Amino acid sequence: MNNPASDTITFTGILPAGTRLDHYLVELTDGEYSRSFLQKKIEEGFVLSGKAQLQKSSFKPKEDIPVQLTIEPEPAYTLSGNDQSVPILYQDEYLAIIHKPAGMTVHPGTGTGDDTLVHSLLSQMESLSEGSSPERPGIVHRLDRDTAGLMVIAKTSQAHDALSSLFAQRTIQKIYHAVVWGEMHQAGELNGFIFRHPKHRTRMKFIREESLKETKEEVPEDAKSASLSFSPLHHNRALTLLRIELHSGRTHQIRASFAAIGHPVAGDPLYGSDDRFARLYHFGKKHWAAIEEYGLMLHASSLSFAHPFTGKPLSFSLPLPDVFEGVAAEN
């Protein structure tokens, strides 16, 4: 039902017993809104059952209950394309695979201009999904500003939901390469919890599961599980080149995880100090000038998944920048 006075839209229905709230809302709205958009509305308190707010997307009632979803008009938000293109490795009517360069912010936000990835996509593609908010059309996942590499872009709301589900189910294989400080000889896993750092709000904090048994450190309620596996490719006395498979996609996960075990990513001023590590490993400044020039030594190297609509296996990879092998070469 539409209220023309305010342009507020209200949907009412009956949530069947045992049905996830967010899944039902997609059906209730006839697919007009993506599931990620509806999940945001759930979290913001726009879904009621009687007078009670339903604020968990995964909520499943034990019996049929009435629900009401209110969609308020979004504030005016205008985006336009720019003349900066990004490489498109693949695209069809549903999705695209692009190569985001280092130094490019994914979507507009505080302090950004019209030079984000979203601005570039708008100038290169005829359609993008609505995304989880007006400033994020097409964006299903993200890379840090200083991380280069592969991203999958949704071109329709249906594709956005399908790709989001693949990420949630961890059926998209994401391979990164990173150069970290220190020698690492053994392959391993980093499983634990990640959350906003209580003192340094621009950083995330990672705690390994096994360390919790020893330290008894408390994990905040809003902490999220984080998991990755890694294997060293080669190293010298100061640096190690790692192949990393990311099993969960959390903000700053790789950077925070390796910093937590004393091996921060090289070129990362937020989680490590290149000057300090260079002195620690007697790695003269002239030898790590390449790191200073390149920046964050983290690269989203490959993506592999089954196309959500055709089932066709898709696999994409990028060559590793020469500087990654060069600075971590054995000597």
- Cite the active site residues: 144
Alpha helix segments (H runs only) across 145-188: 157-168
Task: Map 268-308 to HEC letters.
Answer: CCCCCCHHHHHHHCCCCHHHCHHHHHHCCCEEEEEEEEECC
Q: Do residues 133 and 73 make contact, with C-beta atoms less than 8 angstroms apart?
A: no
Q: Indicate if the alpha-carbon torsion angle 80, 86, 92, 97 is positive or negative.
A: negative
Nearest to 140 by CA among 75, 92, 94: 94
Distance of alpha carbon 70 from the chain centroid: 28
Instruction: Return the DSSP state at 103.
Output: T
SS3 category, 69: strand
Residue 204, classified by CB atoms within 10 Å of its CB into exposed (0-12), middle (13-18) or buried (19+), is buried
Q: What angle, 0 to 180 degrees and rounded to 10, lies between the N-to-C axes of helices 35-43 and 157-168?
A: 70
Residue 18, classified by CB atoms within 10 Å of its CB into exposed (0-12), middle (13-18) or buried (19+), is exposed
Q: Do residues 95 and 163 make contact, with C-beta atoms less than 8 angstroms apart?
A: yes
Nearest to 290 by CA among 326, 330, 329: 326
- Residues in Cβ contact with 1 at an 8 Å cutoff, skipping those fewer than 6 apart: 9, 10, 11, 12
- Residues in Cβ contact with 166 at an 8 Å cutoff, skipping those fewer than 6 apart: 172, 305, 308
